[in-house]
Amino acid sequence: MYTTTNILPKDKKLLYEGTLLPLMEQFYTIQGEGFNTGKAAYFIRLGGCDVGCHWCDVKESWDASIHPLTKTKEVLQQVLAHSAKAVVVTGGEPLMYNLTALTRELKASYIETFIETSGAYKLTGEWDWICLSPKKTMLPLQEIYNKANELKIIVYNKHDFIWAEEEAKKVNPDCYLYLQPEWSKRNGVGPLIVDYVKANPKWMISLQTHKYINIP
């Protein structure tokens, strides 16, 4: 969903087709959290999100209209200018857009495609790894619970352990389960997560390691 009213009709068509996307930032770094922690990955962050998490650490992504509409082919050229073998598409909420063209172009260049999503919108694109991080304000669609490779629950307070168990019942049996402290609460909930994972070893802890080593 792109809310700018003065967007050109031809751009609306390309946005709908997914060959033009609101690009907030792109950078080559190390994936810091979840299953793929430690792997080099090129991040593509798309603008636009209406999920409204109060603790969101990328609120500047919410308004899609302030992020330039960028051709997927230009994004691909940037990816290929680096040594990246994997791309993480994130946001914002990237599934507000049709990601078919972007992932097709990436896969044609033998780049692995990873997505980080709240799951609140229909799945588009072809993915090697789906990290589902559900939010209470807009629950995921069942098709994404079914396809998720990884369920990542952000733990802000004690109630989130109950929420995590409810969400874990909805994913497929092969899905990895992660609890990740919300960054501003890490000192408080971190030890609680350690105890919880020790008592419930189907869960694993995910840390935002990139923030500890000051990389994006």
Considering only 36, 61, 72, 103, the residue that binds ligand SF4 (CB under 6 A) is 61
Q: Which stretch binds ligand SF4 (CB under 6 A): 68-76, 91-99, 189-197, 202-210?
A: 91-99
- Residue 200 and residue 63: Cα distance in Å, rounded? 39
C-beta closer to ligand SF4: residue 14 or 96: 96
Considering only 22, 47, 91, 181, the residue that binds ligand SF4 (CB under 6 A) is 91
Any idea how long the chain is?
216
C-beta closer to ligand SF4: residue 19 or 63: 63
Considering only 33, 93, 150, 167, the residue that binds ligand SF4 (CB under 6 A) is 93
Note whether 178 and 152 are within 8 A (CB): yes
Amino acid at 37: T
Per-residue CA distances from 153 to 15, 21, 42 (Å): 30, 27, 23
Q: Which stretch binds ligand SF4 (CB under 6 A): 53-61, 124-132, 161-169, 190-198?
A: 53-61
Q: How many CB atoms lie within 10 A of CB 202?
A: 9
Q: Least CB distance from residue 55 to ligand SF4, whole Å?
A: 7
| Subset of 130-159 contacting ligand SF4 (CB under 6 A) | 135
Question: What percent of the residues of the chain are helix, what percent strand, and what percent coil, each to the nearest 5?
Answer: 35, 25, 40
- Residue 179 and residue 156: Cα distance in Å, rounded? 10
- Residue 199 and residue 149: Cα distance in Å, rounded? 23
49 binding ligand SF4? (CB under 6 A): yes
DSSP 3-state of 18: coil
Closest CA to 11 of 98, 61, 71, 64: 71
Considering only 23, 41, 51, 99, the residue that binds ligand SF4 (CB under 6 A) is 51
Q: Which stretch binds ligand SF4 (CB under 6 A): 2-10, 66-74, 90-98, 199-207?
A: 90-98
Considering only 103, 113, 118, 206, the residue that binds ligand SF4 (CB under 6 A) is 118
Site for ligand SF4, rule CB under 6 A:
49, 51-53, 56, 58, 61, 91-93, 118, 135
